[in-house]
């Protein structure tokens, strides 16, 4: 990864490349999209845009106040569901609810993520970054796969990060119990894991009509970044993308025609 690539993560890179973008004119009427981490930042912008394109969007989040705001502020068919995706019990409950209520699921956007300054463990005994960014997405996706296949052509979009270039996955230390904990490294490892899962799911789902892609939103200014990386946010603020700019590729992967012709890409 060279310096020009890093510069491309900023709003300068977005403005440069967006000159060649065509507006997404897809009609998503009749399609159902599930977006995790939908109550703020990239997830909220993705929910807003896909609802504007006509999709029924099910936005999943932890905060009931923000979820209520999501339903009231976003125009279109938006349903908010509260679930903590760091807890596998909540993930299973969410999947069971969706399978019982949604006759088809056309797109799953695995967006929710955390970057924590200190190592914490969920009440189920999983390191929280691993649980939220990787284990929860893995379980939710696998539980919903039968409905996605039944709904094909369908798509899975995994929101990774350019930070994944900085770390390898550590199967021998997934819960960060051996190495001294660093929040940015734990985050990067899980984001690397998302890209690996994308490739594995693409192989597994070949021929089913379900395609899988991972993406990097660039460096976007969101409440999550401000909380998790306050120094980075302060120093880089003039160069950070807006949440809408960061969500742009998520929306394209969910709605445009071209991503349906390939799979397993980052």
Residue 125, C-beta contacts closer than 8 angstroms, at least 6 positions apart:
none
For residue 141, the number of C-alpha atoms closer than 13 Å in the C-beta half-sphere is 28
The sign of the CA dihedral 17, 47, 207, 145 is positive
Write the CB contacts of 265 (distance below 8 Å, at least 6 apart in sequence). Answer: 198, 213, 214, 259
Q: How many CB atoms lie within 10 A of CB 13?
A: 19
SS3 state at 60: strand
Task: Spot the catalytic one: 165, 176, 181, 187.
Answer: 187
User: Residue 183 CB: number of other CB atoms within 10 A?
Assistant: 17
Asked about 187 being catalytic, the answer comes back as yes
203-209 long-range contacts, CB within 8 A, separation 24+: 203/264, 205/145, 205/149, 205/263, 206/263, 208/149, 208/152, 209/149, 209/152, 209/153, 209/154
As a whole number of angstroms, the distance between CA 184 and CA 46 comes to 25
Q: How many CB atoms lie within 10 A of CB 22?
A: 7
| Catalytic residue annotation | 187
């Amino acid at each position: 990864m060279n310096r020009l690539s890093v510069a491309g993560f900023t709003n300068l890179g977005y403005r440069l490349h967006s000159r060649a973008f065509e507006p997404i004119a897809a009609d998503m009427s009749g399609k159902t999209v599930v977006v995790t981490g939908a109550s703020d930042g990239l997830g909220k912008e993705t929910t807003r845009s896909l609802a504007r394109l006509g999709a029924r969007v099910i936005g999943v989040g932890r905060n009931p106040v923000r979820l209520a705001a999501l339903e009231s502020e976003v125009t279109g068919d938006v349903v908010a569901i509260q679930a903590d995706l760091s807890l596998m019990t909540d993930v299973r409950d969410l999947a069971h609810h969706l399978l019982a209520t949604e006759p088809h699921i056309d797109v799953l956007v695995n967006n929710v993520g955390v970057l924590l300054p200190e190592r914490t463990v969920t009440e189920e005994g999983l390191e929280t970054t691993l649980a939220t960014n990787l284990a929860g997405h893995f379980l939710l996706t696998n539980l919903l796969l039968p409905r996605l296949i039944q709904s094909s052509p369908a798509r899975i979009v995994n929101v990774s990060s350019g930070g994944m270039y900085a770390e390898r996955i550590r199967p021998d230390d997934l819960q960060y119990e051996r190495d001294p904990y660093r929040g940015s490294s734990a985050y990067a490892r899980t984001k690397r894991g998302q890209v690996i899962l994308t490739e594995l799911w693409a192989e597994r789902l070949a021929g089913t009509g379900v395609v899988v892609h991972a993406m990097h939103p660039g460096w976007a200014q969101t409440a999550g970044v401000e909380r998790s990386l306050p120094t980075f946010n302060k120093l880089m603020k003039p160069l950070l993308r807006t949440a809408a700019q960061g969500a742009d590729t998520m929306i394209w992967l969910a709605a445009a025609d071209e991503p349906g012709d390939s799979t397993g890409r980052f």
